[in-house]
Structure 1
Amino acid sequence: MKRIKNWFQGLKLNNKFTIICLIFVTIPMIVLAGWMFWNIEDNLINEKLSAMKFKLDMAYAQVIKNVDTINMSTQFFLSDQGLKDFLSAEKRGDNYTTEALLDFYNRDVASLERMVNNNTYLYQIRVYVDSDGMQEMMPILYRRERMQRLSFWREDFSYGWKYGYKDNLFSSYGQLTGEREILSLLTSMEDYGLGEIGVLEVAMYMDTMFPVIYESSETLWGSFADGDGNLHFAQGIDTEFNQKLIRTILKDNQNIKDDMHVYFYKTQGRQLVIGYQPLRELNGILVYVDDIESDLTKIRNQRYVFVLCGILVIVLLAVLVNKVAKGMLKQFYSILRSIRKVQKGDLDLVIENCGSNEMGELGDQINKMLYNIKQLTTDNLNHELLVKNTEIRALQNQINAHFIYNVLESIKMMAEIKEDYDISDAITSLGKLLRYSMKWVPGNVTVEEELEYIRNYLSLINLRFDYEIYLSVNIPQVILKQRIPKMSLQPIVENAIYHGIEQMAEDTNIYMKGIEDKEDCIIEITDAGRGMSEEEVENLYKRISGEVEVSGGAGNGIGLKNVQDRIKINFGEKYGIEIASKLGCYTKIMVRIPMNKEGSI
């Protein structure tokens, strides 16, 4: 908020006036537009909710009508005495003459068939009899073994409603029905003395029972969940998303037993109107879904057009207001331009035509101030001339570092001319050594630069001795790019030579190794020198940690202490050097610094 305030205060007056006007116009416009489009979306949702409630009412009325048709047909068959007598006779094993069978067929079966054909809502009414020798009388009477061809059949099947199966009683039925799914009510037909004498199946097409489901589209569709948790969809609607959505809706509304529930629902970026209708008569639930995302998208597109038009109006208004503000502040900006010229040094400027208003008075006061400034400037200039004449500095006695490099290059060329390449190489190393030592850097250096300095240092050290000191390096590239304080590794190498290797006077190695340790890295410097005892290591620790005061002189640990202090100052107390040594074998100095994956600290 403070930054916005500072930014606003830094604007020109005409821009401030423009912004204030736009705020007073834009905010009411945004509030009004937001309320208007919110109201449009809310009205659309309410209309869809009302339409959904109407659809469910109509669907529920159709289901009740169809259920009543099935129940009445069931009762009609159960109360038909002729059919009941025939089934009882079959159960007892009575034999019928051909004449009696024809009479039963022409009188009773034909009457039942007419009743079925006259009811256009029904698909079939069939009676299955547990008798292998019974003469089947299609399309009413069948032996029970045929029922085993239907998908719901099993030995311990239960009576009641069966949903979503196809008529496989005969192979030709699938072609006749167009593979339409069926639901039916199975009822046991019983005789008081004989027990069960048949199974009655009153069947209806699923799309007749639930036309609202089977007239679905991509945005308006439904499903019926039966008592066993099976979902029934129209063909092409049974997608994975739709199944998951229906099961989520069933779970969310599982406590609703009887009443219709219509509500607005959002999921996975889609906005839906959900209709939930329990069907106690069928022991199931009818769910209907209206995807209104496309309708809401149209409203949003209208909102975007309105916003673009509003932005255009605001831009035009901003230009107009800005021009009016500039006209009102024209005299003020004229005075401001004069002041800026004064800032550039034009003290001879005079503001003319000041006028008699507030701006004119401001111009008059500025003219008076300019006259006083000119007088003070003239006095100060005379004083500065006297001071400048006394400021002569002698820089001739300062030695330029480039002079030394140029002299070394000349000596190197003389050595090469005489083909004394050892001297040439030594001078090259010395030049690099001096350049690195005398070069000023604002921050730390990379491990790679420090390593190059150590190589040049060793090449010069090897000129002093009759034996060779070799440098072995095993440092990953990521550690070579890390930054450390300048001259923080060379004193360790120098310490290894003078206190560990020089007394042995034989060819040896100094081994440098880099190790990544989580968020840190460790640089190990190991020499195969005389080593130290545990007591010497402990004393050295005390000197570099400051527990024991150190003074100038060889072997007192001041070099390592300086390295330790500089690392802790740069990186913190958890970083620094550690020492491991074995008398007569080796000494290892471990430098721990923080790891930076980008290579700079």
Structure 2
Amino acid sequence: MLLKQRKNWESIKGLKLNRKLTAIILVFVMVPIAILSGVMFYNMEQSTIKENVSYLDSTMARRQDSIHNNIDSINMITQFFLSDETMNRVLISAKNQDSFTTKEWIEIYKNDVAALERLINTNPVLGGARYYAANDNVQEMMPVMYTASRMQRQPWKGYALDGGWVYDYKDNLFSSSDNAPMMALITPINNKKYGFLGAIEAGMKMKTMFPSLYENVPSEISCFVTEDGNVIFGKRSDEKVKRIALNLAAKMEANAKKIENQDIETYYSKEDKSVISGMYIKELSGTLVSVEDISGSLNEVYRQRNAFVMWMILILILLSFVVDGLVRQVLKNFYAVLYTIRQVRKGDLSVRALETGRDDEMGELAHQVNRMLDNIQSLMQQNIDREILAKDSQIKALQNQINAHFIYNVLESIKMMAEMQEEYDISDAITSLGKLLRYSMKWTSELVLVSEELEYIKNYMALINLRFDYDIILSLNLPMSIMNQRVPKMSLQPIIENAIIHGVEEIAEDTTIYIKGVIVGDDCLIEITDNGRGMNDEELDRLKKKISGEIATGGGSGNGIGLKNVQDRLHVAFGMDYGIDVATKEGCYTKVSVKIPMRRVENITNKY
């Protein structure tokens, strides 16, 4: 297999350049088109599915409202029949083999029977409501009172004692009754004293309760699944729909026992290419299921997709001939440029490609090859110049080192002259300046001891005090263990300088800067506190944002760039968990805390 793939790859590599370019162009053109068309037709398919799912779901919601209204009508008429005391006395009389007078029968018919009949007629969705006596000892009063013999003709007669919903039966009360399928709520009438008195039939046409079963929608079939698993179809039946309905009804009935308010469930079945919607009706203990076959809509999408693919194939074939011809024309001057490149490979950098103009790609290629050769020669000359410059830099570095020694020697001579003139303050200042310059010029990329940094700060303070008419005292309180820790070079001095410029100078009086060291777990804090003017909350917040980099720092004084640089160097040296923090109180003090990791050192009992 690998050998075959290798041979195929070698055969591709051996193709002429014009064919390779043609293939690459066609791939780059057709692949995006194929991807976009695939996405487009996939979205069309999903949109078709979503539209049908949404439509069927909203349709089922409307059907749910209608069914609940119909059920309420049946329950309401049943309650009216149960609560009619006169009709209940008629049923008790029939049970006891008693009878009413003709006048009493007329009064019952004029009042109670007529009222019940009006109630039935005012609700057009009802198919009727009837009393059935427990025996034949009753005067039949159409359309509400019938004998037990009439009840025995009905297919639901077995429900008379227990009651319940019956579906899809033919009304056999009279031979001329309507043959339309009916459904009804059968309610037994029981009396504690006399027992079973009869039954009430509150009926409705199946078409009224479930119109979707009888609608002539070509792509949709609906059915009703009863509690005992009987599947009732309307005009059309289908075994696939029956299988789907039974599975969905079992699932929704199980869910209804767990969820108090069972909603409508609508989804798309890829296997059946159908949108399926189920509605569990708790009052009926059954499930209405509608299955809409959307294969026609999907097939139309697939047909458009296939037609698009066929057109793309034809366009691809035509495009391959057009592109191949164009590539051949473009490559006419290619080999002239290729000859120049081969000469350069042999070492002849003076050769140049013949430029016939920059009107096409090959002319541009020739021009760029010539520019490349010019650049190569220029870069070679730059490399030579860079080597010369590097040697010059080494010489200048040596001269700088000599200049630093010269400065130290001059400062030492000035110090001796001051001592000779008994100007000891000047001598001490020169000494501090020399130490400060020596520390500054002796640059190292490694960390320095805290004690070395503090020594540098002492020299800095000695020179600073020469500027002012007041004294700035430096108070140190650090354990030897912290003195032996390491920090980035010149990381504490900018904090001292910041304290003097922004805190001490404005009050212009004798003051003290405190440097205190505290060990906290595996870390240590170096706290630098001045008794200067402090800052308000707004200034502190702006300074912290500059230090953290949330807002930019400029190049001027007082913009936090010094503290920002210290923060960045501490992060680089020790990580993001370490750095500086600022606390202040306006008109009182400012404290900058430098947090660094604590390393194990010896001689930690003494203080600096």
> What's the CA shift for 1:251?
4.3
- Residues 498-531 of structure 1 deviation map (CA, whole Å, 9 limit, x = unaligned): xxxxxxxxxxxxxxxxxxxxxxxxxxxxxxxxxx
In the alignment, does 2:156 pair up with 1:142?
A: no
Question: 1:298 maps to which residue?
Answer: 300
In the alignment, does 2:97 pair up with 1:98?
A: no
CA distance in 2, matches of 1:142, 1:226: 28
Q: Pick one of 21, 43, 49 that aligns with 1:45.
A: 49
Q: Is the 8 A contact 1:128 1:200 kept in 2?
A: yes
In the alignment, does 2:209 pair up with 1:229?
A: no
CA distance in 2, matches of 1:47, 1:312: 33
- Residues 52-102 of structure 1 deviation map (CA, whole Å, 9 limit, x = unaligned): 221111011001100110111011111112111111111121122223222
Q: Is the 8 A contact 1:130 1:145 kept in 2?
A: no
**Structure 2 matches for 1:39-438, cutoff 5 A?**
39-154=43-158, 158-173=162-177, 177=178, 179-235=179-235, 237-251=236-250, 253-257=252-256, 258-267=262-271, 270-329=272-331, 357-358=337-338
In the alignment, does 2:27 pair up with 1:23?
A: yes
Question: 1:524 maps to which residue?
Answer: none
> What's the CA shift for 1:118?
1.9
CA distance in 1, matches of 2:35, 2:112: 77
- Residues 254-273 of structure 1 deviation map (CA, whole Å, 9 limit, x = unaligned): 53212221111123xx4111
Alignment TM-score, normalising by the size of structure 1: 0.52
**Structure 2 matches for 1:495-510, cutoff 5 A?**
none
CA distance in 2, matches of 1:357, 1:104: 118
CA distance in 2, matches of 1:203, 1:169: 12
Give secondary structure in 1 for the equivalent of 2:98: coil
CA distance in 2, matches of 1:286, 1:104: 41
Q: What is the one-letter code of the residue matched to 1:169?
A: L
> What's the CA shift for 1:253?
4.6
CA distance in 1, matches of 2:159, 2:72: 29
CA distance in 2, matches of 1:124, 1:312: 69
Pick closer, same or farther for the CA change 1:52–1:23 going to 2, 3 Å.
same
> What's the CA shift for 1:110?
2.0
Count of aligned residue pairs for this structure pair = 334
Question: 2:411 maps to which residue?
Answer: none
The answer for unaligned runs of 5 or more in structure 1 is 333-354, 364-601
CA distance in 2, matches of 1:46, 1:121: 34
> What's the CA shift for 1:321?
0.9
CA distance in 1, matches of 2:232, 2:125: 20
Q: Is the 8 A contact 1:216 1:234 kept in 2?
A: no
Q: Is the 8 A contact 2:126 2:205 kept in 1?
A: yes
CA distance in 1, matches of 2:251, 2:121: 42
Q: Is the 8 A contact 2:160 2:188 kept in 1?
A: no
Q: What is the one-letter code of the residue matched to 1:244?
A: R
Q: What is the one-letter code of the residue matched to 1:110?
A: A
Q: Is the 8 A contact 2:249 2:280 kept in 1?
A: no
Q: Is the 8 A contact 1:151 1:166 kept in 2?
A: yes
> What's the CA shift for 1:250?
2.9
The alignment yields a C-alpha RMSD, in angstroms, of 2.4
CA distance in 1, matches of 2:160, 2:88: 24
Q: Is the 8 A contact 1:87 1:129 kept in 2?
A: yes
Question: 1:561 maps to which residue?
Answer: none
> What's the CA shift for 1:156?
7.9
CA distance in 2, matches of 1:322, 1:155: 85
> What's the CA shift for 1:188?
1.3
Pick closer, same or farther for the CA change 1:361–1:244 going to 2, 3 Å.
closer
Pick closer, same or farther for the CA change 1:79–1:356 going to 2, 3 Å.
closer
Pick closer, same or farther for the CA change 1:168–1:358 going to 2, 3 Å.
same
Alignment TM-score, normalising by the size of structure 2: 0.52
> What's the CA shift for 1:155?
8.0
CA distance in 1, matches of 2:147, 2:336: 119
Q: Is the 8 A contact 1:149 1:168 kept in 2?
A: yes
Q: What is the one-letter code of the residue matched to 2:43?
A: N
Q: Is the 8 A contact 2:159 2:186 kept in 1?
A: no
> What's the CA shift for 1:241?
2.5
- Residues 227-270 of structure 1 deviation map (CA, whole Å, 9 limit, x = unaligned): 111111111x2122322232233345553212221111123xx4
> What's the CA shift for 1:127?
0.8
- Residues 256-293 of structure 1 deviation map (CA, whole Å, 9 limit, x = unaligned): 212221111123xx411111111101111111112111
- Residues 106-156 of structure 1 deviation map (CA, whole Å, 9 limit, x = unaligned): 222122112212210100111111222322222211111222222233388
> What's the CA shift for 1:329?
4.4
CA distance in 1, matches of 2:42, 2:320: 27
Q: What is the one-letter code of the residue matched to 1:307?
A: V
CA distance in 1, matches of 2:250, 2:26: 51
> What's the CA shift for 1:38?
0.9
Q: Is the 8 A contact 2:134 2:196 kept in 1?
A: no
Q: What is the one-letter code of the residue matched to 1:25?
A: V
The answer for unaligned runs of 5 or more in structure 2 is 257-261, 344-608
CA distance in 2, matches of 1:152, 1:2: 80
> What's the CA shift for 1:362?
9.0
CA distance in 1, matches of 2:189, 2:161: 15
Give secondary structure in 1 for the equivalent of 2:254: coil
Q: What is the one-letter code of the residue matched to 2:237?
A: D
Give secondary structure in 2 for the equivalent of 1:56: helix
CA distance in 2, matches of 1:9, 1:357: 21
Question: 2:259 maps to which residue?
Answer: none
CA distance in 1, matches of 2:122, 2:336: 107
Q: Is the 8 A contact 1:216 1:222 kept in 2?
A: no
Pick closer, same or farther for the CA change 1:4–1:158 going to 2, 3 Å.
farther
Q: What is the one-letter code of the residue matched to 1:139?
A: P
CA distance in 2, matches of 1:3, 1:243: 57
Q: What is the one-letter code of the residue matched to 1:209?
A: M
CA distance in 1, matches of 2:173, 2:296: 45
CA distance in 1, matches of 2:323, 2:15: 15
CA distance in 2, matches of 1:145, 1:7: 95
Pick closer, same or farther for the CA change 1:328–1:60 going to 2, 3 Å.
same
CA distance in 1, matches of 2:267, 2:159: 43
CA distance in 1, matches of 2:11, 2:297: 43
Q: What is the one-letter code of the residue matched to 1:289?
A: V
